[in-house]
Amino acid sequence: MRHQFALASLVAAMVCVAMPSHAQAGADTYKAKCMMCHAADGSGNTPAGKSMGAIPFKSEALIKASDADLIASTTNGKGKMPAYKSQLTAPQIADVIAYVRTLQK
Task: Name the band, by pLDDT with cuts 50, 70 and 90, for residue 28.
Answer: very high
User: 39 lies in which domain range?
Assistant: 20-103
Q: Which residues pair with 81 in a beta bridge?
A: 78
> Is there a contact between 99 and 91 (Cβ–Cβ < 8 Å)?
no
Percentage of residues in the chain having pLDDT higher than 70 = 80
Q: DSSP 3-state assignment of 41? A: coil
Task: Name the band, by pLDDT with cuts 50, 70 and 90, for residue 95.
Answer: very high
Q: Which residues pair with 78 in a beta bridge?
A: 81
Residues shown for the chain: 105
Mean pLDDT (the chain) is 85
Is the predicted pLDDT of residue 30 greater than 70, yes or no?
yes
| Position 1 in a domain | no
User: Cβ neighbours of residue 9 under 8 Å, at least 6 residues apart?
Assistant: none
| Position 8 in a domain | no
Domain with residue 35: its CATH number is: 1.10.760.10
Task: Name the band, by pLDDT with cuts 50, 70 and 90, for residue 24.
Answer: confident
Is the predicted pLDDT of residue 54 greater than 50, yes or no?
yes
| Position 12 in a domain | no
Higher-pLDDT residue of 16 and 98 is 98
Is the predicted pLDDT of residue 81 greater than 60, yes or no?
yes
Total tally of structural domains belonging to the chain: 1
pTM: 0.78
Handedness of CA 70, 72, 77, 80 (dihedral sign): negative
